[in-house]
A = this chain, B = another copy of it.
Amino acid sequence: MKKQKILTGDRATGKLHLGHLAGSLSQRVELQYKHNQTILIADMQGLTDNGHNPEKVASNIINVIADYICAGINPELTIICLQSALPALAELTMFYSNLVSVSRLERNPTVRHEIKTKGFKDSIPAGFLTYPVSQAADITAFSATLIPVGEDQLPMIEQTNEIVRKINFITKKEILKECKALIGNVGRLPSLDGKSKMSKSSGFVINFDSSDNDIKKAVNSMFTDPNHTSVDKPGKIEGNVVFSYLEAFYKDGNHLEELKLNYQKGGLGDGTTKKILTECLIELIKPMREKREYLMNDKAELINMLKKGTEKSREITDKKCKEVKDNFGILLF
C-alpha cells in the first residue's frame, strides 16, 4: 500500500484502557512506521455530550497524551494535536454543515445508535447531532485518506465522502480528498462481565496506571464459564472473558493453545487461568505505569509536545481551510 495520510483520535473524556490498547492503539503503533499518521485529541467532540461539564474533557487531555506515549506512540513519527486549538476545523464544520440536511444526520446509523445509547431522549445537543460534520472537517482538513475505524463507524466515512464530493462539485476542483476506512483486524475486548465491550461506561476498566492489586481484582471479577463448576469439568472458551484477554495479550501462543485445550478437556481451573492472566497483565502494565508516572511528573514536557504537534497541524489545517474559502471566492484576510 502507498504511504497514506492517516487521521485517528480519541475523545478526551477519560484515561485510555486495555480496550484501546488491544484495538486502536496497537494498530496505530504499527501504522506510524508505514504511513503519515496524525492523532487528534478530540476535546471538541468530547464536549458534544459533555457540554455542561467541560472540566471532564479539559482535565483528561493530559491523561490521553500520557497514555499515547506509554502505549508506544512516538511523537517523532506520529503528530499528536489538540482539536480545540485548530480553529480551521470549526470553520470548515460551519461551511460543511450548510451542505448536510438535518434529516440526513438523523438518518446516520452511527448517530442514531449513539443517541439511543446515550439516553438524550428529547434533548439531543445540536453539536452532538452534527458531530459527523465535524469529523468530516477533521478528516478533510488534514487531507487524510485512510481512517482506522470500527465497522460501526463506516457511516461516518460515507458521510465524509458525501461532503467531499459536494465541495469538489461546488468548487469544480478536487480540493478535498475522499477517504477510505481501515477496519482493524483486532477484535474488541469485552467488558469484565462479558456483556459489552470494554469501555468506561461498562464499569471497571484496566488503565495504564492501574495498580497490581487493581489488575488482580479486575481479573478475579472476570466472567468465565458459569457451568465450569469444578476444575476437572470441561470449560467453555467462547464468551470466557479471561481467554479473550489472554488472546489479546498473552505472548506465548503455543502455551495459550495448550491452556485452551486443557480447559476445554477439563482439569484446568479458573483460579489458574486467572493467575496466568493476572501475571501477564501485570507484566504488561507495570512498565507502562512506571513510564506514565515518569511522564506525569513533567506535565509541561507533555504539553509542550502536544503544542508542537498542534502548531504543525495548525499550518496544515489553516491552509486547507483557506483553500476552501478561496475557492468559494471569499475574501481572505
Contact = CB atoms under 8 A, between A and B. Distances in A.
Interface string A296-333: 00000001001100110000000000000100111111
Interface of A: 43-44, 47-55, 57-59, 61, 82, 84-85, 87-88, 90-91, 93-95, 97-103, 105, 122-130, 133-134, 166, 170, 303, 306-307, 310-311, 325, 328-333
A56 to B, nearest CB: 9
A224 to B, nearest CB: 41
B125 A99 contact: yes
A134 B93 CA distance: 12
Contacts of A306: 331, 333
Of the candidates A53, A103, A130, A134, the one having the most CB atoms from chain B within 10 angstroms of its own CB is A130
A328 B124 CA distance: 21
B330 A98 contact: no
Nearest to A326: B58
Number of copies: 2
A61 B311 contact: no
B98 A48 contact: yes
Given A170-B52, A328-B54, A331-B82, A91 B101 contact: no
A331 to B, nearest CB: 6
Contacts of A103: 122-124
A66 to B, nearest CB: 14
Contacts of A87: 87-88, 90-91
A91 to B, nearest CB: 5
A51 B126 contact: no
Contacts of A130: 97, 126, 130
A10 to B, nearest CB: 16
Contacts of A97: 125-127, 130
A54 to B, nearest CB: 4
Contact of A330 (B43, B94, B100, B125): B43
19 contacts: A44-B94, A47-B98, A51-B98, A52-B170, A57-B330, A58-B330, A58-B331, A61-B330, A84-B330, A85-B333, A90-B91, A94-B127, A99-B125, A100-B125, A102-B124, A102-B125, A103-B124, A306-B331, A307-B333
B124 A101 contact: yes
Nearest to A101: B123
B98 A94 contact: no
A101 B84 contact: no
Contacts of A325: 84
Contacts of A100: 125-126
A30 to B, nearest CB: 29
Contacts of A58: 328-331
Contacts of A134: 94
A47 B85 CA distance: 24
Contacts of A128: 98
Contacts of A84: 91, 325, 330-331
